[in-house]
A and B are shown apart, each in its own frame.
Chain A
């Protein structure tokens, strides 16, 4: 039994045991359901082996929504614990585990896949391509992300959750202070998901640079594609730093090296440094595609072309360069001198300039526009003022001298939620609502959608504005409780109410999906929003090959020109289309990676060696495989096109 002792949870509670049972029952229910409805074959053929960017996008989307739920439940528990002074709902250890999980899940397993979902679904359609440059690599990216996320998510029922914060600073994250396998989970699960993200970065950069439809020069690309290109460029250069830092951390914890230890020549603060060398560009990886989504939505519903296209592009390129120059502002108080801090202070403030350019461009796009307040537009309109508050407090935090007051307080927590929720989460929900008809062939209910937007906004304000106040008063982040005499009690209660309202908002979103699946009209056009970019030029549902003929581009808004100015988008006859074959290899490789990660976390060496060999065998098989894809014949295209045209 000694062998199995390591899988026990070091700090159990009835809730965790209940979750264990719930997870077991859910897995059984899924297996039973799939078997009863005989869906295993369908699941395997249509989803697990797919290399279609649209389906991969939808799988990312489902994962992101699940993780939003998981991270949201964590958030509610944290706020409930803090709602009253000296509450006993959670103890210190559980609180630590929950805020660490909340951070990692929300950033890496909710926001990232949400971005990937929209990027996967939209970018190839926007540039008139048939798929991404490396479709099978794309599937592998998804499965690595998914398996990394699942590995991280089982930590709290097998072996214990990570408890050193989502930043996992050493020496706290070292073996001496984090004894459970929790931090091993952190290092290895993020490593696996991170490799997937890196592959996506390479894949999408190649796709956007090489596979645009004829006539679409770089400066004629839609704004979301531009923002994706820049975000993927940042991914390619930022994620290797994380990979290296995680590898060093793993070696410190499992092989006794001394990179981040306090003795034997180790440098504990180097972890914080490397983490933020990746971590700061990471926030721009999240926010730039979100800005892209807002740009698409705002110009669609203001019924105007985007104001200042060139300045939008240049500001993103500048942000991409600046994003690598500011990381030390995350640890101004760590002990650098005034000169170093001043340098990073100034670069940080400078990054507000290109961001400001973008805000003004959106405002000028709205000016004299015929604004139509649909749900995606409502999110965008709520985003502008709310995000600006976050931006302004960001400039406050950028002042290194003043940062000694704000550092590690709730003020900081309020700030980054203030940029990430209206900036990224609203963008993703807006994008979800906007692209839903293209993905699933019906629209989400507008009334319920607006309820969600308002509930989330009001809940957001109630939840996070009080934190600015308590933070300035000195409430530290990551403290599991506080005494009544601090006076933080009432404000934290307001925060809890806000968080609860946001939870209701999420519930309305879920109900909206259910309601729309049941009642929404399936009889919609392929361009229900009267939009301006190419992804709306194809049919709904989008055929496997995206476009029967390759579109001809001659302006920034070719589809709009085709609708209003008589530009001919599709010329010539149908030709046979070359498409990639499905493959089970990415999924199998993902499963092997999961086993690899699990063995690594617990230091079970024999399976670790075997799975490592397995991974290399998979790669070798791919190298020697002769797979030339398949052709879709002209007759088949004609048949599909006639059918889809008839449906619309």
Chain B
């Protein structure tokens, strides 16, 4: 019975619900903008990772190397683009 029960997926689902509830707290509780954004960003990234790994089976085939390399590279490009743009357009702009 044990091997038939998808424990990982069920736990993932519960965890994903918890993350959603935490994100919803930003709406219901009276938080500062910074605190709210921090909570949203952190829960969003964990949620995305959870979906990719648990429900989209990123690490379960022999292509895991290629898939993870692509995900990390995409993350790198996204972060560089966002922070680079902030640097050019706002922080470093005189």
* A336 interface neighbour in B63, B73, B76, B93, Cβ under 8 Å: B93
Comparing B21-29, B46-54, B82-90, the segment that makes contact with chain A is B82-90
The answer to whether the Cβ of A337 comes within 8 Å of any Cβ in the partner chain is yes
The answer to whether the Cβ of B77 comes within 8 Å of any Cβ in the partner chain is yes
B23 to chain A, nearest CB (A): 24
Q: In the complex the two chains form, is B66's CB within 8 Å of A328's CB?
A: no
A293 to chain B, nearest CB (A): 24
Closest chain A residue to B85, Cβ basis: A273
Q: In the complex the two chains form, is B66's CB within 8 Å of A340's CB?
A: no
Q: In the complex the two chains form, is A241's CB within 8 Å of B93's CB?
A: no
With a CB–CB cut-off of 8 A, which chain A residues contact B80?
A: 324-325
Question: Taking A336-B92, A336-B94, A337-B92 as contacts, is the C-beta distance between A328 and B77 under 8 angstroms?
Answer: no
Question: Taking A233-B73, A241-B81, A321-B76 as contacts, is the C-beta distance between A267 and B94 under 8 angstroms?
Answer: no
With a CB–CB cut-off of 8 A, which chain B residues contact A273?
A: 85, 88-89
- Say which size band chain A's interface belongs to: 20 to 34
With a CB–CB cut-off of 8 A, which chain A residues contact B87?
A: 336, 340, 343
**What are some 29 contacts across the A-B interface (CB < 8 A)?**
A209-B66, A236-B70, A267-B89, A269-B89, A273-B85, A273-B88, A273-B89, A274-B85, A277-B81, A277-B84, A321-B76, A324-B76, A324-B77, A324-B80, A325-B80, A325-B84, A327-B84, A328-B84, A328-B88, A334-B88, A335-B94, A336-B88, A336-B94, A337-B93, A339-B92, A340-B87, A340-B88, A340-B93, A341-B92
| C-alpha gap A528/B76 in the complex (Å) | 44
Q: In the complex the two chains form, is A237's CB within 8 Å of B77's CB?
A: yes
With a CB–CB cut-off of 8 A, which chain B residues contact A267?
A: 89
- Say which size band chain B's interface belongs to: 10 to 19
| C-alpha gap A542/B81 in the complex (Å) | 43
| C-alpha gap A340/B83 in the complex (Å) | 12
Proximity string of chain A (320-333) to chain B, C-beta cutoff 8 Å, 1 when within and 0 when not: 01001101100100
The answer to whether the Cβ of A158 comes within 8 Å of any Cβ in the partner chain is no
The answer to whether the Cβ of A270 comes within 8 Å of any Cβ in the partner chain is yes
| C-alpha gap A321/B72 in the complex (Å) | 12
Closest chain A residue to B74, Cβ basis: A237
Q: In the complex the two chains form, is A335's CB within 8 Å of B84's CB?
A: no
Closest chain A residue to B66, Cβ basis: A209
With a CB–CB cut-off of 8 A, which chain B residues contact A270?
A: 85, 89
Give B contacts to A, CB under 8 Å: 63, 66, 70, 73-74, 76-77, 80-81, 84-85, 87-89, 91-94
With a CB–CB cut-off of 8 A, which chain B residues contact A209?
A: 63, 66
* B73 interface neighbour in A237, A334, A337, Cβ under 8 Å: A237
Q: In the complex the two chains form, is B93's CB within 8 Å of A335's CB?
A: yes
| C-alpha gap A210/B61 in the complex (Å) | 12
| C-alpha gap A335/B74 in the complex (Å) | 29
Q: In the complex the two chains form, is B94's CB within 8 Å of A324's CB?
A: no
| C-alpha gap A334/B63 in the complex (Å) | 44
With a CB–CB cut-off of 8 A, which chain B residues contact A241?
A: 81
| C-alpha gap A504/B49 in the complex (Å) | 57
| C-alpha gap A209/B68 in the complex (Å) | 13
With a CB–CB cut-off of 8 A, which chain A residues contact B93?
A: 335-337, 340
With a CB–CB cut-off of 8 A, which chain A residues contact B81?
A: 241, 277, 324
Q: In the complex the two chains form, is B94's CB within 8 Å of A337's CB?
A: yes
With a CB–CB cut-off of 8 A, which chain B residues contact A237?
A: 73-74, 77
A374 to chain B, nearest CB (A): 37
| C-alpha gap A277/B66 in the complex (Å) | 24
With a CB–CB cut-off of 8 A, which chain A residues contact B84?
A: 277, 325, 327-328
With a CB–CB cut-off of 8 A, which chain A residues contact B85?
A: 270, 273-274, 277
